[in-house]
Amino acid sequence: MKLPNIYTSKNLKYFPAVPLILMLLAIYFSTHIRLDSSLSGGATITIQTNTTKSPQELSGLISSALHVPTPTVTANPGAITITIAANQSISNAYDYLLAFYSNQTQYNTYLVNATSASVGLQASPGNQTLAGELSVADAGLNRTMSGMNSALASELGSLSQFITPPSYNKADAASMSSAAQNAYSNASLAYQQDVIRQLHTVIPFTTAPSYTPITVQQSKVFLSSLVQIIIMAFVFVSIVVFVIFRTIVPSLAVIFGAANDMVIALGAMGLLGIPLGIASIGGLLMLLGYSIDTDLLTSIRILKRHEGTPEERAYGSMKTGLTMTSAAIVSFATLFLVSFVAYVPTYYEISGVVLFGLLADLATTWLGNASFILMYIKRKERR
């Protein structure tokens, strides 16, 4: 069946409305994206077992046993890997511990300043500068001591379900520091042992599991690094595109196409419950490369070649592009369905992101990018 040449339509200027509407809907749904434990904190447990239960069944059982959101379970020969979300009490306690250390660092600085000022005053009594420094240091010592007490009390309150709060000297920074660190370490160990004990009621195993905690703070740093990688990728791609076209409109059209595909993919993740994690971010980077490729080749063919009219060149690009994209869609749709049925989270996340990004690319490239380029050419011809 021969496709009609849509680019000869008088309604060409309305075509970009379709990807723009999809983008607005995607922005709304993207607010519902949840982070997986690699980016939100949690723990990864590897268990040597020969259980015959499916990963999906185990995920539900573990969620009920540990009272945590649905964990990710990956099956390997003779073993399974479980990733659970961070315990909120442990996470809060870690924040309080960091606050305690921040106050302790300032306390030590004030202590050094106070000691130095005191020694100076002994050698030079009545020195107003040194007296002022001592006054500031004393005020700082009182403030940071109060901050340490407050942070430690909050930490111990968060950990009370796991340990008995230790005794400590509220006027001794060293005593409080020891209590803060030991409380967090003991509570984390108690939580870990409880998790393993509860897992044993669901999954039979004889070898001690491997337990790797991931703090929320580590996850935030990791997420920040991944965001920087995506931004840098966009920056470098933008530079390359601008060098190729040397004009603003075609360059912006190509960048818009890639950005819109990623936004729509994020919206699909929020709608379908695909978590944002290492795997899905890998899918987003794959999608960025594919989107730039189709938009760039289309724009080059319309602008740089001279056979036929611009509308005919756009039409030829569309026929070739639809064939390529359709083949990719079929491939990733198959992987998406297989990984969903077989419960393979990594493949499910990657294929889901790329699949819906490719579907978005159909509208973004052929109704958005190509239309922008054709309108740009027509406007140049009228000048």
Instruction: Give the pLDDT confidence of 12-43 residue by residue, as tens digits.
Output: 889 999 999 999 999 999 888 877 766 777 88
Specify whether 11 is located in the same domain as 91: no
Specify whether 344 is located in the same domain as 360: yes
Would 119 be classed as within a structural domain? yes
Specify whether 349 is located in the same domain as 373: yes
**Contacts of range 247-252, beta carbons closer than 8 Å, 24 or more positions apart:** 249/372, 249/373, 249/376, 250/299, 250/303, 250/373, 250/376
Specify whether 146 is located in the same domain as 168: yes
* pLDDT confidence bin for 1, thresholds 50/70/90: low
Does the model's pTM come out above 0.75?
no
Would 107 be classed as within a structural domain? yes
Q: What is the CATH number for 290?
A: 1.20.1640.10
CB atoms within 10 A of CB 187: 23
Would 360 be classed as within a structural domain? yes
Residue 297 lies in domain:
6-37+216-382
Residues 6 or more apart whose Cβ sits within 8 Å of residue 19: 260, 264, 360, 363, 364, 367, 368
Among candidate residues 197, 214, 231, the one where a domain is terminated: 214
Specify whether 135 is located in the same domain as 220: no
3-state secondary structure of 76: strand
Among candidate residues 167, 184, 214, the one where a domain is terminated: 214
Among candidate residues 214, 237, 257, the one where a domain is terminated: 214
Q: pLDDT tens-digit profile of 179-238? A: 999 999 999 999 999 999 999 888 888 788 888 887 767 677 777 777 788 788 778 877
Domain count, the chain: 2
Using CB atoms within 10 A of its CB, is residue 369 exposed (0-12), middle (13-18) or buried (19+)? buried
Specify whether 58 is located in the same domain as 203: yes
Q: Identify the residue with better confidence: 270 or 4.
A: 270
Specify whether 230 is located in the same domain as 324: yes
Specify whether 85 is located in the same domain as 191: yes
Would 1 be classed as within a structural domain? no
Q: Identify the residue with better confidence: 292 or 345.
A: 292
Specify whether 319 is located in the same domain as 259: yes
Specify whether 160 is located in the same domain as 235: no
Specify whether 88 is located in the same domain as 19: no
Which regions of 158-244 does DSSP assign to beta strands (E)?
Answer: 210-214
Specify whether 224 is located in the same domain as 369: yes
Q: Identify the residue with better confidence: 50 or 112.
A: 112
With 90 as the cut, is the pLDDT of residue 103 above it?
yes
Residue 238 contacts residue 253 (beta carbons within 8 Å): no
Would 172 be classed as within a structural domain? yes
